[in-house]
Amino acid sequence: MKKRRRKTKRLKPIQKFVAGASLIIAVLVIAIIITAANSGNRQEPDSEATTAPATAVPAEKTSHYINGVGVTAQGSTDEVAACETYALSALMGYLKIDFDVKDFGENYLIKSPISYDDDFNRCGPDMYTAFAGDLEEGYGIYAPAMTSSINSFLSAKGRRERASDIYGKTLEELCREYIDRDIPVMIWANAYMQEPEEYVTWIVDTVDENARTKKGELFEWPCNEHCMLLIGYDEDSYFLSDSVAGEISEFDREDSEKSYAGFGRQAIVIQ
């Protein structure tokens, strides 16, 4: 018996088009559904969380004054002492440390006398090494030797504070680092921030590791050398506890920086 061939039904062109279009639409619908699902799961970025807040730059301070610092005027005590000792007296008063000018000058201040050689040449120490002269007719002492003197005093009194000498920083830098934190600073400058008109010289006969001259060299001392306690500033001035003036003195910033720089920008803090 002859098998009959089964005829395959052929789609008309229009039917092919409709079938193809239906498949495409189905794929698109599935894609849209998947995209919508993913979109629902994804969190939109929080504009407030992702936008970094503007960091406010703190305005630089234009003034600060340390309250509670007094003045020990030169000549206010029975014993004559160096301006460095009077500046230290004002600082000790602020730190509430018992301090006596005579006691410090006699027992703790590193001193070396002024003398004369056979040719009547004046001889004395490098002032970075010791106080030049005695308390009645002395000249002065610079930061490293004064720092050692202060620390001997503090140790003897059983205090934990210690003095540190500082070099090379401007007065403005000292204000940022110390005055803004209510830490007074002993500085060396000219009295009243005026240029020296006269100098005293002597041949150096005493030195140590801090000396800036050698034995036999000439040391030059400006007659209005002065040590004061820096306690404040504003846009125009610096404020200092001044034993020569016997009060808190206000000095022009530019004049003060120049005078202070003339002594090598040396200072002392106690912490």
pLDDT digits (tens, 9 = 90+) for 20-77: 545 555 545 455 545 555 544 444 444 444 444 555 556 678 999 999 999 999 876 6
Angle in degrees, 0-180, between the axes of helices 83-94 and 143-156, rounded to the nearest 10: 50
Backbone angles phi, psi at 145, to 5 degrees: -70, -35
Establish if 244 belongs to a structural domain. Answer: yes
What value does the mean pLDDT take over residues 73-86? 80
- Higher local confidence (pLDDT), 87 or 57: 87
What value does the mean pLDDT take over residues 215-243? 97
pLDDT of residue 165: 98
- Higher local confidence (pLDDT), 130 or 136: 130
pLDDT of residue 175: 98
Q: Is the pLDDT of residue 143 over 90?
A: yes
Interior angle at CA 231, CA 171 and CA 251, nearest 5: 65
Residue 15 to residues 11, 19, 21, 55, Cα–Cα distance (Å): 6, 6, 10, 68
Backbone angles phi, psi at 191, to 5 degrees: -60, 130
Question: Residues 244, 192: contact at Cβ < 8 Å?
Answer: yes
Q: Is the pLDDT of residue 80 over 90?
A: no
The enclosing domain of 256 has a CATH number of 3.90.70.10
Establish if 266 belongs to a structural domain. Answer: yes
Establish if 49 belongs to a structural domain. Answer: no
Looking at the 3D structure of the chain, how many domains does it have? 1
pTM of the full structure: 0.78
Backbone angles phi, psi at 184, to 5 degrees: -65, 155
pLDDT range class, residue 191, cuts 50, 70, 90: very high
Establish if 261 belongs to a structural domain. Answer: yes
Going by C-alpha positions, the residue among 180, 158, 160, 168 that lies closest to residue 230 is 180
Strands 111-112 vs 131-132: parallel, antiparallel or unpaired? parallel
Establish if 107 belongs to a structural domain. Answer: yes
pLDDT of residue 267: 98
Establish if 108 belongs to a structural domain. Answer: yes
Establish if 93 belongs to a structural domain. Answer: yes
Q: Domain containing 237: what range?
A: 65-270
